[in-house]
Structure 1
């Protein structure tokens, strides 16, 4: 078992934090140029193994015949050149695509 708590159970927390920041005027500090919000995207793998895997794992097949199983996500973050802090949004999980081949 990789993680007993589904990530979707905590996604509501991201929205609650966003609403609190908006209500308290914190988000205004992130506005840049013509009042736009800048979002930086980063991709990451948060699990990788050559042995442990589950039905949701993505697979990377190597030329030497081995397979690496992994979970990854794209993490959006609100940024501003005027702020030292950032505000992260809920991640978008990279899912296996049926029938997808390179």
Structure 2
């Protein structure tokens, strides 16, 4: 498999990778709360959504994948600046013990 060969080249000895991806699991044009992300569309409408960043521990030679707890992408500190996948990624790596990850608050602080 091409993907398995590509993944193997990214590993050193017994190291694992943590694939991370964002997902949106709720969207509405009328229902909202303080932690919802807000998107303003070109036509003037506004939609509200819940999003999360999901991660898992994986290795190309192992069949098992260990999912990690999802990290919500949400507004929590009352700031007008919205949270994003990059800041959620920093939080998820930091909370799972990655020494390279610097902790980030919900809005990068």
* Alpha-carbon distance, 1:95 to partner: 1.7
C-alpha RMSD of matched pairs (Å): 1.7
Moved over 6 A (4+): none
Q: Does 1:84 align with 2:63?
A: yes
Bigger strand fraction: 1
What count of residue pairs does the alignment treat as equivalent? 70
Max radius of gyration: which structure? 1
SS of 1:34 mapped into structure 2: coil
Mapped partners of 2:38, 2:44: distance in 1 = 12
> Partner of 2:81 in structure 1?
100
Q: Structure 2: which 5+ runs fail to align? A: 1-10, 83-109
> Partner of 1:18 in structure 2?
none
Q: Deviations over 1:30-68 (max 9, x none)?
A: xx5322121000100111111111121110000111111
- The normalised TM-score by structure 1 is 0.61
* Structure of higher RCO (CA pairs closer than 8 Å, 6+ residues apart): 1
- The normalised TM-score by structure 2 is 0.57
